Chain A
Amino acid sequence: QKEVEQDPGPLSVPEGAIVSLNCTYSNSAFQYFMWYRQYSRKGPELLMYTYSSGNKEDGRFTAQVDKSSKYISLFIRDSQPSDSATYLCANRGGSNYKLTFGKGTLLTVNP
């Protein structure tokens, strides 16, 4: 079983839709959970970060972590065409500095 599983999509939604992106992970040592966003021809950039279970909100984005089921989600409200990108979940745990990335989900928001 891979450490981080992410549905690669692609996912296509109309503008204004609520988007749900999900990852599962297998390593109980993971403590930090992040979402990176990658636009075409660009490097990933950190979008959301959370340390514990529960929800974290930042504008139209909500990151949700359920450590009991090893499930992390990113919700995008009122999605915009500018949200079209690949979204990568990333987890980190233990004393090393390694991030484990999911494969990424390609999202297209159609105007």
Chain B
Amino acid sequence: EAQVTQNPRYLITVTGKKLTVTCSQNMNHEYMSWYRQDPGLGLRQIYYSMNVEVTDKGDVPEGYKVSRKEKRNFPLILESPSPNQTSLYFCASSSTAGWGSYNSPLHFGNGTRLTVT
């Protein structure tokens, strides 16, 4: 089954304790991206990657790091989490061929709910 898998689904941590949220896709997609979703603010892009070893900042990159060493994996790293990073996080992927078309939509994972106390 084609899917984007995020882990963990739920995470509670304390301020300053480094954490990694993993994301893996099995569709051989070039493009991957991280979003955070907050009430009243909607989905905001954190980082994206056009392909292996190519990453770029989205709209809200502060406090986050990413890496793309393999095509299928795109982990999100919070080096020193703070309470304002409490949010629902989504990883997404897409083929870049015909990107944005009906045949190449963004595929989202089921989210990681992070709470930083």
Contact = CB atoms under 8 A, between A and B. Distances in A.
Interface of A: 6, 8, 32, 34, 36, 41-46, 49, 88, 92, 97-99, 101-104
Interface of B: 4, 31, 40-43, 45, 48, 50, 58, 90, 92, 94, 96, 99-102, 105-111
A43 B106 CA distance: 10
A101 B50 CA distance: 19
B99 A103 contact: no
Contact of B101 (A45, A49, A97): A49
A46 B106 contact: yes
A42 B110 contact: yes
Contacts of A6: 42
Nearest 10 Cβ contacts at the A-B interface: A43-B108, A103-B42, A46-B105, A49-B102, A101-B43, A32-B100, A92-B100, A44-B108, A43-B110, A43-B90
Nearest to B31: A97
A45 B111 CA distance: 12
A43 B99 contact: no
Nearest to A103: B42
B105 A34 contact: yes
B29 to A, nearest CB: 12
A101 B42 contact: yes
Nearest to A92: B100
B43 to A, nearest CB: 4
Contact of B110 (A41, A88, A92): A41
B102 A46 contact: yes
Contact of A97 (B4, B48, B90, B110): B48
Nearest to A56: B102
Nearest to A101: B43
A92 B107 CA distance: 16
Contacts of A32: 100-101
Contacts of B100: 32, 34, 49, 92, 97, 99
B58 A43 contact: no
Nearest to A2: B42
Contact of A88 (B43, B92, B96, B107): B43
Which of A6, A32, A103 counts the most B-chain CB atoms under 10 A from its CB?
A103
